[in-house]
A and B are shown apart, each in its own frame.
Chain A
Amino acid sequence: AQTVTQSQPEMSVQEAETVTLSCTYDTSENNYYLFWYKQPPSRQMILVIRQEAYKQQNATENRFSVNFQKAAKSFSLKISDSQLGDTAMYFCAPISLSGGGADGLTFGKGTHLIIQP
Chain B
Amino acid sequence: KAGVTQTPRYLIKTRGQQVTLSCSPISGHRSVSWYQQTPGQGLQFLFEYFSETQRNKGNFPGRFSGRQFSNSRSEMNVSTLELGDSALYLCASSPQGAGGANVLTFGAGSRLTVL
Which residues of A approach B to under 8 Å, CB–CB? 32-33, 35, 37, 42-47, 50, 52, 91, 95-97, 99-110
Contact = CB atoms under 8 A, between A and B. Distances in A.
A107 B56 contact: no
Contacts, number: 81
B50 A104 contact: no
B58 interface: yes
Interface in B70-110: 88, 90, 92, 94, 96-100, 102-109
A91 B33 CA distance: 17
B103 A50 contact: yes
A42 B55 contact: no
Residue among A32, A43, A46, A108 with max Cβ neighbours from chain B (10 Å) = A43
A58 B61 CA distance: 39
B85 to A, nearest CB: 18
Residue among A44, A45, A47 with max Cβ neighbours from chain B (10 Å) = A45
B43 interface: yes
Nearest to B105: A47
B110 to A, nearest CB: 10
A106 B88 CA distance: 16
Contact of B100 (A37, A97, A106): A97
Contacts of A43: 88, 108-109
